[in-house]
Chains A and B, each alone.
Chain A
Amino acid sequence: MPATEQPVRPRTKVRQRPGDRIFAGLSTGAGVLILTVLGGVAAFLLIEAWPAIIAPADEIPGGEGLVLYIWPLLFGTLLSAFFALLIAAPLAVSIALFITHYAPRRLSQALGYMIDLLAAIPSIIYGLWGFFVLAPATLGPTTWLTEYLGFIPLFEGPPSATGRTMLVAVMVLAVMILPIISAVVREAFRQTPRLHEEAALAIGATRWEMLRMAVLPFGRSAIIGASMLGLGRALGETMAVAIVLSVSGGVTFNLISSGNPSTIAANIALKFPESTGLDINALIASGLVLFAVTLGVNMLARTIINRRREFSGAN
Chain B
Amino acid sequence: MPTSTPERDIDLESPIGGIPLVHQTLPRWAPHATLATAVLAGLALVGAGIGIGLAAVLVVLLYGVAIYSWSRPIEGARKAKDRVVTTAVMATFLLALLPLVSVIVTVISRGAARFDIEFFTHSMQGVVGAGGGAYHAIIGTLIITGLAALISVPIGMLTAIYLVEYGRGKLARAITFFVDVMTGIPSIVAGLFAFALFALFFGPGVRLGIMGAIALSVLMIPVVVRSTEEMLKLVPNELREAAYALAVPKWRMIIKVVLPTALAGIATGVTLAIARIIGETAPLLITLGITTGTNFNPFDGRMATLPVFSYYEYVNPGIPPEPSLERAWTAALVLIIIVMVLNLAARLISRLFAPKTRS
A binds B: yes
Give the complex CA separation of A283 and B192 in angstroms: 9
Q: Is the CB of B92 within 8 A of A98?
A: yes
Q: How far is the CB of B301 from chain A (nearest CB, A)?
A: 15
- With A27-B165, A207-B82, A238-B281 as given contacts, are A295 and B89 in contact (CB-CB < 8 Å)? no
As a 0/1 sequence over residues 318 to 352 of chain B, the CB contacts with chain A under 8 angstroms (1 = contact) are 00000000001100100110011001000100000
**Cα separation A14 to B172 with both chains bound (whole Å):** 23
Shortest Cβ distance from A306 into chain B, in angstroms?
8
Which residue among B51, B250, B275, B328 has the maximum number of chain A CB atoms within 10 Å of its CB?
B250
B97 at the interface (CB under 8 A from A): yes
CA distance A298 to B107 in the complex (A): 32
B97 partner residues in chain A, CB cutoff 8 A: 114
Complex interface bits, A299-310 against B, C-beta within 8 A gives 1, otherwise 0: 101100010000
Q: In chain A between 95 and 152, which residues have their CB closer than 8 angstroms to a CB of chain B? A: 95, 97-99, 102-103, 111, 113-115, 117-118, 120-126, 128-129, 131-133, 137, 140
- Chain B residue numbers with a CB within 8 Å of A98 are 89-90, 92-93
Q: Provided the pairs A206-B78, A208-B81 are in contact, do residues A44 and B184 lie with their beta carbons within 8 angstroms?
A: no
A242 to B51, CA, bound (A): 30
Cβ < 8 Å to A, chain B residues 36-89:
51, 53, 78-79, 81-82, 85-86, 88-89
Contacts of A268 in B (CB 8 A): 188, 192, 282, 286
With contacts A206-B79, A229-B184 taken as known, whether A27 is within 8 angstroms of B192 at the C-beta atoms is no
Does A311 sit at the interface, judged by CB under 8 A? Answer: no
Q: Is A213 in the interface zone, CB < 8 Å from B?
A: no
Interface string of A257-301 (1 = CB under 8 A from B): 000000001001100110011001001100100110011011101
B148 within 8 A of A: no
Using known A-B contacts A31-B167, A294-B184, determine if residue A133 contacts B102 with beta carbons closer than 8 Å. yes
Residue from the set B53, B79, B197 with the largest chain A CB neighbour count within 10 Å: B197
Complex contacts, A114 vs chain B, CB 8 Å: 97, 100
A270: min CB distance to chain B, Å: 9
Question: Is A48 interfacial (CB-CB < 8 Å)?
Answer: yes
B147 at the A interface (CB under 8 A): no
Asked whether, in the complex, the Cβ of B186 is within 8 Å of the Cβ of A236, the reply is yes
- Comparing A3-11, A32-40, A189-197, the segment that makes contact with chain B is A32-40
Alpha-carbon gap, A287 to B60, bound state (A)? 44
Question: When chains A and B are docked, how far (Å) is the Cα of A27 from the Cα of B196?
Answer: 27
Complex CA gap A283/B99 in Å reads 32
A237, CB-defined interface residue at 8 Å: yes
User: A269: which B residues are within 8 A, CB to CB?
Assistant: 188, 281-282, 285-286
> Within the assembled complex, what's the spacing in Å between the Cα atoms of A45 and B193?
6
State in angstroms the CA–CA spacing of A63 and B107 once bound together: 42
> Taking the complex as formed, is A209 at the interface, i.e. its CB lies under 8 A from any CB of chain B?
yes
Say yes or no for B246: interface residue by CB 8 A criterion: no
**Residue in B closest to A33 when the chains form the complex, CB atoms:** B155
Q: A188 to chain B: closest CB distance in Å?
A: 15
Q: Which residues of chain A come closer than 8 Å to B193, judged between CB atoms?
A: 40-41, 44-45
A-contact 0/1 string along B168-197, CB 8 Å cutoff: 000110110111111111111110110111
Would you call A20 an interface residue if the criterion is a C-beta within 8 Å of the partner chain's C-beta atoms? Answer: yes
- B contact face: mostly helix, strand, loop, or mixed: helix
Q: Is the CB of A121 within 8 A of B103?
A: yes
Contact: B196 with A45, CB < 8 Å?
yes
- A91 near B95: Cβ-Cβ < 8 Å: yes
The reply to whether A120 and B343 contact each other, CB–CB distance below 8 Å, is: yes
Which residues in A have their C-beta under 8 angstroms from that of B82?
Answer: 206-209
Is A239 on the interface with B (CB-CB < 8 A)? yes
**Which residue from A19, A111, A243 sits with its C-beta under 8 Å from B251?**
A19
Name the contact of B197 in the complex, choosing from A27, A40, A238 (C-beta under 8 A): A40
Q: How far is the CA of A3 from the CA of B183 in the complex (A)?
A: 57
For the complex, is B303 an interface residue (Cβ under 8 Å from A)?
no
Would you call B282 and A128 a contact (CB within 8 A)? no
B286 (CB) vs chain A CBs: closest residue: A272
Within 8 A of B (CB), among A207-237: 207-209, 229, 232-233, 235-237
* 168-187 of chain A: CB within 8 A of chain B: 175, 178, 182
B184 to chain A, nearest CB (A): 4
- Chain A residues in 8 Å Cβ range of B79: 206
| B159 interface contact, C-beta 8 A | yes
Please determine whether B96 and A91 come into contact, CB atoms closer than 8 angstroms: yes
Q: How far is the CA of A291 from the CA of B183 in the complex (A)?
A: 12
A203 at the binding interface (Cβ < 8 Å): no
The residue of chain A having its C-beta at the shortest distance from the C-beta of B75 within the complex is A206
In this assembly, does A12 line the interface, its C-beta being within 8 Å of a C-beta of chain B? no
Which of A5-57 touch B at CB < 8 Å?
17, 19-20, 22-24, 26-35, 37-38, 40-41, 44-45, 47-48
Whether B92 pairs with A238 at a CB distance below 8 angstroms is: no
Are B92 and A24 in contact, with the CB atoms below 8 A? no
Q: Which residue of the partner chain A has the closest CB to B164?
A: A27
Contact A233 B184 (CB under 8 A): yes
Give chain A nearest CB distance to B271 CB in angstroms.
Answer: 11
Decide: A97 near B339, CB < 8 A? Known: A129-B107, A284-B196, A290-B186: no
Query: In the complex, are the beta carbons of A302 and B177 less than 8 A apart?
Result: yes
Choose among A23, A47, A287 the residue that contacts B200 (Cβ–Cβ < 8 A): A47
A273 and B192 form a contact (CB under 8 A): no
- Complex Cα–Cα for A31 and B261 (A): 22
For the complex of A and B, the 4 pairs showing the least CB-CB separation, nearest first, are A236-B186, A122-B279, A30-B158, A23-B251
28 contacts between A and B (CB under 8 A): A19-B252, A34-B221, A34-B222, A35-B175, A40-B193, A47-B200, A48-B195, A48-B196, A98-B89, A115-B96, A121-B279, A122-B339, A129-B102, A140-B51, A182-B96, A206-B79, A206-B81, A208-B86, A238-B186, A239-B307, A265-B282, A284-B192, A290-B186, A291-B185, A294-B185, A294-B186, A299-B177, A299-B181
* With A34-B225, A268-B286 already in contact, 20 other A-B pairs whose C-beta atoms are closer than 8 Å: A24-B251, A28-B167, A31-B159, A40-B193, A117-B343, A118-B96, A121-B336, A121-B339, A122-B339, A124-B335, A128-B329, A133-B106, A178-B96, A182-B96, A208-B85, A236-B189, A243-B311, A276-B204, A284-B195, A302-B181
